[in-house]
Amino acid sequence: MTTSAGKFTRRSFCAASAGLATMGFSRLADAAEGDAPEMITQIAKFKLNLEKEAEGVAALQELCAAVEKDEPGVLVYICHRSSKNPDELVFFEVYKDQEALKAHGRTPHMAKMQKSFAMLFRPPLEVTRLDRVGGFARS
């Protein structure tokens, strides 16, 4: 959970805890201050099929890695798993703008996830758009 310099980082935590509580990444600190009005923030909620738990967690890890690698317009993409109810999943997502959100839905990794969604996860898929009230992000 620490870097070679011994410093704890969010990325090292996410990597160490993938499959336990959270996985994903944040580029929010790198976003330009003026981009905030165009940013799209949303949460997506759905359930993990616990009979396919290992496959589902692996698919989520693969998805998060592909989004981080291939989608620079996705500023935050973090999947949380409830510690109280291990089948509950919540994605916190921040997109640079509407085009980044649209592009995300057209990627090969999202198409792959959509094909396996019914087997690995349980509906409903609930997506809620959020309006920023205030706050900050630290890197």
For residue 37, the model assigns a pLDDT of 73
Phi, psi of 59, deg, nearest 5: -65, -40
For residue 21, the model assigns a pLDDT of 52
Pairing of strands 74-81, 88-95: antiparallel
Q: Is the dihedral of CA 124, 46, 107, 63 positive or negative?
A: negative
- In this structure, what token pair is assigned to residue 9? 């980082």
Stated as kind and residue range, the H or E segment containing 59 is helix 53-70
Amino acid at 100: A
- Averages of pLDDT over runs of 10 residues in the chain (139 residues) are 39 40 67 70 97 97 96 96 96 96 97 96 95 82
Cα–Cα distances in angstroms (integers) from residue 108 to residues 54, 81, 105, 113, in the given order: 22, 24, 9, 9
For residue 99, the model assigns a pLDDT of 97
Instruction: Assess contact for 76 and 93: CB atoms under 8 A.
Output: yes
Query: For the domain 20-130, what is the CATH code?
Result: 3.30.70.100
What distance in Å separates the CA atoms of residue 102 and residue 121, rounded to the nearest whole number? 23
pTM confidence score: 0.77
Query: Per-domain residue ranges for the chain?
Result: 20-130
For residue 75, the model assigns a pLDDT of 95
What distance in Å separates the CA atoms of residue 29 and residue 113, rounded to the nearest whole number? 28
For residue 26, the model assigns a pLDDT of 73
